[in-house]
Amino acid sequence: MHEIHFESIDSTSTYAKTYGNAFPSDQITCITADEQTAGHGRFNRPWASPKGVNIYASFYFRLPQNTKHLTSLAQVMTSSMAAVLTHLNPKIKWPNDIQLNGKKVCGVLCELTFQGEEVIAILGVGVNVNMEMSDLQKIDKPATSLKAVTGHTWDQAELLKKLQKQFENDLEKFKKEGFDPFHDFFERSLCYKGEEIRCFDGKKEWVGTYHSLNEDGGLNIRLPDQTIHTIYTASE
Ligand code: BTN
* Calpha distance 19→15 (Å, rounded): 6
Q: Is the pLDDT reported for residue 235 higher than 70?
A: no
What does pLDDT average to over the chain?
Answer: 93
Atom of ligand 1 nearest to the CA of 10: 14
Q: Could you report the per-residue pLDDT of 161-183, keeping only the tens digit for each?
A: 999 999 999 999 999 999 999 99
Q: Could you report the per-residue pLDDT of 190-234, keeping only the tens digit for each?
A: 988 778 888 777 778 888 898 889 999 888 989 999 999 898 876
pLDDT-derived band at 18 (thresholds 50, 70, 90) equals: very high
* Calpha distance 113→101 (Å, rounded): 35
Q: Which of 125, 144, 164, 233 to mutate to test the pocket of ligand 1 (most atoms within 8 A of CB)?
A: 125
Atom of ligand 1 nearest to the CA of 40: 14
Q: Above pLDDT 90, what percent of the chain?
A: 77
From ligand 1's centre to the CA of 46, what distance in Å? 8
Residue 16 CB contacts under 8 Å (≥ 6 apart), including other chains: 23, 29, 31, 58, 60, 122, 124
pLDDT the model gives residue 198: 82
What average pLDDT does range 9-35 have in this prediction?
Answer: 96
Distance of CA 209 to the CA centre of its chain: 23
Which residue minimizes the CA distance to atom 2 of ligand 1? 107
- Residues in contact with ligand 1 (CB, 6 Å cut-off): 11-13, 36, 39-42, 45, 47, 56-58, 97, 107-109, 124-126
